[in-house]
Structure 1
């Protein structure tokens, strides 16, 4: 049974990349706990379906088009949330892509795409949300990195680099920030998602299918995110690594 929070504990939460996978599972889980979730992604048709499901189950949700590679779009989204709800309590920097391939394939466009979404997208979210949260004197920024932030695997050099960057940016934000701003990094291991759908290299795609045979459900990561969100205000959950028991390393 999902625990419901009192009105004083209910938070306004923006989740990027909310149209599938971890983002979708997190939105559903947090809404079931009584939080108001704003779902951001480019696939607005999927967001609309998810909002309907959340509302049918008694939750509160809203969807918005969000391209994390566009700073103006991210800033406008945050400002709209503040104008409507009076505040933004939590940003979940979840949007990410994983078109892995050997470096020898020189898939430069895919490398740049990962840099734009996985790094610039995180920075844009921080830039937009941090300004609001500093004015509020409270807030929480959660960034999804990966176990790839702590290890490099074949075909994953650029992806792991972007996730290490996300980890480093999040840790840097935590170190620099006033205690009123909580900062959390979540590092999922192998998790069921649509990330592998972006892999264009046939060999890498087949390797990833095998690698994901014992993947965690996205709800396992949603549980970790919810734990950080619901921690007492004086508790800063700095980092959580969640991986299948079979993932070695």
Structure 2
């Protein structure tokens, strides 16, 4: 797409699922990719696949919970490609369970990655976007950020927080005249490794059945990210809800 060619795009959570699919999709359309995730081997494979097809991609092992890792990812984009045009804050965890299971370590992990990780990404890139008076911040929430499900209270809470954060960011950017665009994506059952991270046996079984029944490929969300990025610079489409046609979420 015309408005994607040559753009420098940072992707967190880039080693699998939606992040990986988006990296390939944007590379095909001429974007220059800066990939961040915790698993170096997977990042290396994805970057090499993009390079082998004539695309441009670099990567850095990144834990979004660490503010300095986010800052370093932005610095890598600038040192390699000279600029940053967009960031896709896609890293997330979904180790769901009923509150009564008291999986407090998982509660804290979801807050750290799903909320603090997003805030760290925004903090890392916002000064650059404000200075250049342009930029695009895209974030993965979930349909769990629009409605609440039993067994997913903490996860839902983190994804509702993402909705609020991104909406306030959109409004503040508009008020400040910084021309920063935002987009929040609310996927339903889309292929990812989220279900694999559920340790609670009963919850895992229910979610695995749900995803086995309805799941659509991660590329479907990658298409939405590309669509958002391709819009004219004066246009923000701030929210996208996407899921299987057959899933009554």
TM-score normalised by L of structure 1 = 0.95
Contact 2:130 2:178 (C-alpha < 8 Å) held by counterparts: no
Instruction: After superposing the two structures, state which structure 1 stretch, 72-81 or 138-147, moved more.
Output: 72-81
Cα RMSD for the two superposed structures: 1.3
Contact 2:36 2:59 in 1 (8 A): yes
Name the structure 2 match of 1:62: 58
Aligned residue number for residue 180 of structure 2: 181
- SS of 1:127's equivalent in the other structure is helix
Q: Residues of 2 paired with 1:131 and 1:196: CA distance? A: 35
Q: Distance in 2 between matches of 1:131 and 1:83?
A: 16
More moved, 20-29 vs 73-82: 73-82
Q: 2: distance between equivalents of 1:211 and 1:224? A: 23
- Correspondences of 1:156-171 after superposition (within 5 Å): 156-171=152-167
Paired residue for 1:132?
128
Partner secondary structure for residue 96 of structure 1: coil
The CA distance in 1 between the partners of 2:133 and 2:157, in whole Å, is 32
Residue segments in structure 2 that go unaligned for 5+ positions in a row = none
**2:222 paired residue number:** 222
Equivalent position to 2:99, from 100, 103, 127: 103
Q: How far apart in 2 are the matches of 1:80 and 1:208?
A: 37
Q: Unaligned stretches of 5+ in structure 1?
A: none
Question: What SS does the corresponding residue of 2:88 show, helix, strand or coil?
Answer: strand
Question: Would you say 1:153 and 2:149 are equivalent positions?
Answer: yes
Residue 139 of structure 2: SS of its match in structure 1?
A: strand
Moved >4 Å (runs of 4+): none
Give the drift of 1:59.
1.3
Is residue 34–residue 76 contact of structure 2 (8 Å, CA) maintained in 1?
no
Cα offset for 1:123? 0.2
Q: Aligned residue pairs: how many?
A: 245
Q: Distance in 2 between matches of 1:10 and 1:233?
A: 14
Residues 87 and 136, structure 1, Cα contact 8 Å, conserved in 2: no
TM-score (norm 2): 0.95
